[in-house]
Homo-oligomer: A and B are copies of this chain.
Amino acid sequence: MENTERIEAALEAALALQQGPEGPPLLAAAMRDAVFPGGARIRPHLTLAVAQACGAEDLNLAAAGGAAIELMHCASLVHDDLPCFDNALTRRGRPSVFAAHGERLAVLAGDALIVAAFQSLAHTGATQPQRLIPMISTLSVAVGAPSGIIAGQAWECEPRVSLSDYQRAKTGALFVAATASGAQAAGTDANPWRALGELLGEAYQVADDIRDVACDSEMLGKPAGQDVTHGRPSSAGELGLTGAVQLFDQLIAHASASIPACRGSAQLRTLLRMEAKRLVPNDLVRKFAPSVTRVVA
């Protein structure tokens, strides 16, 4: 089975635990719309790639860990799109959950997806508690306060915020969870893998800032120019597009260098290079930052 299929199957299995004829059908529909069809599933792909690089013999637990992280990501998008935050009517080229199902079901679908993440992870990992319990801790830290994605979103409510604290929590935390839980699912030490998650999270945030400025809404599948509209800190705003592309390439280079010695390190480096070019394509660099000679070639 390919990783893409593994991830989709794990997400389906997670939602299946919360489906049933006795439940309210509109909530079930809102939950499905929040998860399918997804984006690039970048975080669960990372979890599986790290688990494979660590030599995991069975990928079910890694897939469940990656799916749990993706469910948290989906939940955060649903709540971020609410009227009190971004008031975003589109997401991934379709109506946002709030636009399609109303504010009340968007609040509840996000809540239920947070529960689904823990529930499905514990369900799959029940027979391997010595791996499962650290994965639950990793997931909790990445999502809750003081430094997970919920805390990241909460920084938008504070009178003062540092760009690095904000982005580390808002985006970086789930990437650290993705690499750490891949290692934990393989039964190996998560700590040497945290730097990779941190650097990729930062790179992903910079790529998102670049795309928010350089791409139009149709290409993004969500409204463009949101950072400026909401006065949010943005590396592309601070450094300009040229500086932001240079920073992105540096972060990818550091991420690649941070990969611990392991069975599948070469393959993981190749994957990283491909992903970097998908996130910030050469075409886009030639158009908006023509003076940059890319490190990621």
Tell whether, in the assembled complex, residue B31 and residue A104 are in contact, meaning their CB atoms are under 8 Å apart: no
Q: Which of A179-214 contact B (CB under 8 A)?
A: none
Question: Which of A19-27, A245-253, A257-265 is the interface stretch?
Answer: A19-27
A115 and B133: CB pair below 8 A?
A: no
Q: How many residues of chain A have a CB within 8 Å of chain B?
A: 59
Q: Which residues of B contact A122 (CB under 8 A)?
A: 133, 136-137, 140
A107: CB under 8 A from chain B?
A: yes
A26 & B136 in contact (Cβ 8 Å cutoff) = no
Q: Counting CB contacts under 8 A, is A158 at the interface?
A: yes
Q: Are A112 and B150 in contact (CB under 8 A)?
A: yes
Report whether A123 and B104 are in contact in the complex, using a CB–CB cutoff of 8 Å: no
Q: Which residues of B contact A140 (CB under 8 A)?
A: 17, 115-116, 118-119, 122
Q: How long is the Cα–Cα vector from A36 to B116 in the complex, in angstroms?
A: 27
Interface segment out of the listed A4-12, A37-45, A77-85, A282-290: A77-85
Nearest residue, chain B, Cβ from A129: B129
CB neighbours (8 Å) of A84 from chain B are: 102-104, 107
Hey, which bits of chain A sit against chain B, CB under 8 A?
17-28, 31, 75, 79, 82, 84-85, 102-105, 107-108, 110-112, 114-116, 118-119, 122-123, 126, 129-130, 132-133, 136-137, 140-141, 143-148, 150-151, 153-158, 161, 165
